């Protein structure tokens, strides 16, 4: 298939491009390198060194003989995006091309406005380009489990059937997003459902949990193909932060009580889920949602798992509970449904499958690049940042 990966220089975009290329798809990537610019803004960098995108693509072709098209520009610039979609004629578009950090969106008014304009307007441009030039194309959009929040009932896959005053209907699952970033994803979901309804395009939202891991089968060909590893307090995930803290000997920073529970999945499962969605498209005019995660953990559980693995690797690992900079429930019910992708044949990798130890070894390899200042929480949800 002809597949366009938006955000193809990013943490998930680059591994996805390699994965799909390796499986014989004709792949093009689009990126404006904003993620690298945000590192400059924050004084941060990936723990794992990453090559420029063009060098990655050249190395990939040298190692595999497979070509990946590169397009550099911004999805919010329709004069840039439209001819790419028109000329490349993708049969599927994988959309990672958004600002994806909740803390970044909560820094101040400017970052909140940027996140919503960038994400919502860019996705609308993609939908228009599909409708005008490739109406049969399947948009596979990276969503987030954070759209749902932490309701006191089971989280269904995108929709819920309710009975009210003797009448029954299936409606979009109620959303309780926890940041301006997560709100932007909710707006995306509503816009895409509407676009499918009025134009007859097809779209799948992959409401993804927190992804962990840095190594894939493709990156193992050469460590220069590895994707980025973020551990800072703005873009770093909780598990990455804990693993870095374990290696450098600082306490694991658990926010609040540590009862916050979320869905998680291995990066290799993200790639498999994306291809499963592509190979099993929705019908014309259908908007569907898959909950994309394999396991559920609390923050406290993750800290204990890292502590245990660290000790097995000869590390002394302690845990600190910090005042929570976020506004969120720290003790709540959480049970999300994730049957669709499993039904399509996903074979999950689990956290217990020795992954933590292998990632610790990668962190140790690059421990000289760790900046301890970056690990501490840098953004407080309760402050506007405008004072």
Which position among 185, 204, 237, 309 bears the catalytic label?
185
Q: Is residue 227 annotated as a catalytic residue, yes or no?
A: no
Pairwise CA distance, residues 98 & 243, whole Å: 26
Phi–psi pair at 14, nearest 5 degrees? -65, -50
Which position among 115, 123, 144, 309 bears the catalytic label?
144
What burial class does residue 372 get, using C-beta atoms within 10 Å of its C-beta: 0-12 exposed, 13-18 middle, 19+ buried?
exposed
Return the axis-axis angle of helices 355-365 and 238-248, rounded to nearest 10°.
Answer: 60
Phi–psi pair at 346, nearest 5 degrees? -60, 130
The span from the first CA to the last CA of the chain, in angstroms, equals 51
Q: Is residue 185 annotated as a catalytic residue, yes or no?
A: yes
Q: Is residue 144 annotated as a catalytic residue, yes or no?
A: yes
Catalytic residues: 144, 181, 185
């Amino acid at each position: 298939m002809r597949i366009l990966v938006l955000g193809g220089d990013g943490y998930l975009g680059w591994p996805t491009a390699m994965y799909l290329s390796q499986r014989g798809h004709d792949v093009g990537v689009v990126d404006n390198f904003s993620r690298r610019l945000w590192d400059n803004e924050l004084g941060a960098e990936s723990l794992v060194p990453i090559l420029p995108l063009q060098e990655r693509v050249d190395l990939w072709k040298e190692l595999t003989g497979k070509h990946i098209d590169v397009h550099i520009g911004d999805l919010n610039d329709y004069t840039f995006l439209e001819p790419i979609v028109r000329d490349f004629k993708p049969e599927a578009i994988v959309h990672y091309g958004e600002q994806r950090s909740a803390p970044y969106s909560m820094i101040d008014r400017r970052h909140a406005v940027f996140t919503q304009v960038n994400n919502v307007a860019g996705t609308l441009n993609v939908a228009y380009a599909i409708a005008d030039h490739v109406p049969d194309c399947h948009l596979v959009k990276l969503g987030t489990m954070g759209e749902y929040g932490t309701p006191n009932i089971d989280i269904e896959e995108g929709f819920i059937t309710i009975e009210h005053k003797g009448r029954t209907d299936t409606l979009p699952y109620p959303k309780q997003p926890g940041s301006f970033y997560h709100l932007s994803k909710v707006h995306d979901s509503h816009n895409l459902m509407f676009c499918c309804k009025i134009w007859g395009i097809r779209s799948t939202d992959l409401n993804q949990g927190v992804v962990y891991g840095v190594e894939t089968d493709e990156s193992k060909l050469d460590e220069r193909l590895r994707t980025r590893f973020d551990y800072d307090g703005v873009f770093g995930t909780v598990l990455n932060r804990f693993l870095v803290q374990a290696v450098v000997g600082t306490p694991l920073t658990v926010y609040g009580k540590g009862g916050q529970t979320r869905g998680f999945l291995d990066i290799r499962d993200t790639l498999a889920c994306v291809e499963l969605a592509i190979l099993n498209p929705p019908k014309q005019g259908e908007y569907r949602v898959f909950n994309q995660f394999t396991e559920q953990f609390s923050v406290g559980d993750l800290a204990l798992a890292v502590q245990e693995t660290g000790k097995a690797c000869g590390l002394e690992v302690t845990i600190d509970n910090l005042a929570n900079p976020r506004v969120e429930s720290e003790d709540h019910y959480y049970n999300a449904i994730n049957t669709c992708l499993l039904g399509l044949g996903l074979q999950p990798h689990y956290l217990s499958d020795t992954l933590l130890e292998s990632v610790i070894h990668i962190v140790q390899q690059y421990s000289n690049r760790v900046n301890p200042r970056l690990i501490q929480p840098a953004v407080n949800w309760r402050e506007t940042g405008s004072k």
